[in-house]
Amino acid sequence: MAGPYVIRGSVSLPEAELTWRFSRSSGPGGQHVNTSDSQVELRFDLAGTEALPPVWKERALQRLAGRLVDGVVVVRSSEHRSQWRNRESAAVRLASLLAEATAPPPRPRKPTRIPRGINERRLQEKKQRAQTKRGRSGRDWT
């Protein structure tokens, strides 16, 4: 493994709180595929962890509510043919998922006013366009 997976700042995923499960992966792979457990399932107990600050933990529990099963986040990886690469992929995916879930909410958008000159120009163009279309009617031609 590449060491601790940083979520954000000095907070990282503690290796002791990660639970790994391995199983046979589906798809092509030749003769070796029938004997190797290359699919990785990584579990992280989000509700019971002490590694995250309380504010982050609350935010993540709220944002990941649809993905949690009894407070546990599960990430599966089977895109690579080697177990080691799938472990790396699952850990990185979990770290990025937690980083996104614990991120502070974006600043509220400050509404801006449209300058008066732009609005007047737009209304003037609308009047001009209406005048052009009004001139196309065939009422006066008889």
Name the strand (E) or helix (H) holding 20: strand 18-23
pLDDT in tens, 86-142: 989 999 999 899 989 888 889 999 999 989 999 999 999 999 999 999 888 876 655
Q: Which amino acid is at 7?
A: I
Confidence of residue 47 (pLDDT cuts 50, 70, 90): confident
Adjacent-strand bridge partners of 43: 19, 74
Q: Is 36 left (phi over 0), alpha (psi -120 to 50) or beta?
A: beta
**Residue 110 has which token pair?**
């400050």
Q: What is the pLDDT of residues 60-95, one digit of tens each?
A: 889 888 888 888 899 998 888 888 899 899 999 998
What is the amino acid identity at position 89?
A: S
